[in-house]
Structure 1
């Protein structure tokens, strides 16, 4: 996973994979079948890791606003931790082009879609609970906050420090829709 994350699908050779895994080519093929299948497994592992490190914040916070904020802050913190892994986001940086095998493209797109869906589901709950106005365009708000996640992935890859990414998170949270004003009941006068 880390090798694919650092080099990308195309630049990672079978020899690179064999060397980093400490197994011969025949064993690599026997275990995974192909470079493409191994990449798909690496994306699956990446998604498992990000669920436990980042996306759990959406379920752990009572407030959707705080959940989104914590998700963005945790993403910025984790993706700038270059001691633990390559900078940036493996899935954000994954190239999807005509030279990519179909199963690799599907894995990347499914991973991106899963992240968008997780945000969307949390915002739908916020609307249902009255935390967000019923008029909230959940589709666009989800895409907006997912775009911030992707932007953090790109900017962290380019070396933007956590302190600056944290400021971006606060600006993004300023876009949070205002609550609908509570209606006051008035007494009819005679």
Structure 2
């Protein structure tokens, strides 16, 4: 006798959980909220995903593999450093302001302030943000080594600047700042990189 098949689509349930966490954050999303969003009893959620924290970590993984992967895609697909940075920032604006979808970046907003018992979640997300910053800095350092950026360009400070801007775009988007204003901000921010471009790049 075979086991009874699952009555729900696990991938679809994970998408619903991702959106719930994205909108309300880790602490702001209760098990009751997840029961309502997924349309499943809490026992079934635990059986399918483990703890609330396990579900959250898997939901973040789904976000980073899709919407939240825009920075990784820009780093891997664009042929020069200026296009990498501009695409990263403009894609951030587009994703953070999509109508009918959670606003901002899930990794930036999901756990900025947490109770002590959720320190592990907060630290885990901080590590994700720091890793993204490090990847931007490394791409800028590569651009200095390869002559795209002028010798002596402070790649670390420039990388911190653009990472901070991406996080700020997330907050602004959640606050309802219009997409056009955010794109205008990106246009201004690109001037910092343009000032460091070598004449031959």
Superposition TM-score tier, normalisation by shorter sequence: 0.7 to 0.9
TM-score for both structures, normalised by structure 1: 0.86
1:178 alignment partner in structure 2: 196
1:86 alignment partner in structure 2: 102
Aligned partners of 2:152 and 2:49: how far apart in 1? 48
Deviations 1:67-89 (A, max 9, x none): 10111111111111122x21111
1:186 alignment partner in structure 2: none
Paired residue for 1:58, among 75, 84, 87? 75
Structure 1 residue 19, shift from structure 2 partner: 2.2
Q: Is 1:113 aligned to residue 130 of structure 2?
A: yes
RMSD: 1.9
Greater radius of gyration (CA): 1
2:158 alignment partner in structure 1: 141
Secondary structure of 1:160 counterpart: coil
1:2 alignment partner in structure 2: 19
Deviations 1:29-58 (A, max 9, x none): 122221111111112222212454443122
Q: Is 1:156 aligned to residue 162 of structure 2?
A: no
Task: Give the gaps of 5 or more residues in structure 2.
Answer: 1-17
Secondary structure of 1:175 counterpart: helix
TM-score for both structures, normalised by structure 2: 0.82
Secondary structure of 1:101 counterpart: helix
Aligned partners of 1:7 and 1:170: how far apart in 2? 30
Of residues 155-164 and 14-23 in structure 1, the stretch that sits farther from structure 2 once superposed is 14-23
How many equivalent residue pairs?
Answer: 181
- Asked whether the equivalents of residues 27 and 114 of structure 2 are also in contact (C-alpha less than 8 Å), the reply is no
2:85 alignment partner in structure 1: 68
Task: Give the gaps of 5 or more residues in structure 1.
Answer: 183-190
- Asked whether the equivalents of residues 63 and 69 of structure 2 are also in contact (C-alpha less than 8 Å), the reply is no
Higher helix share: 2
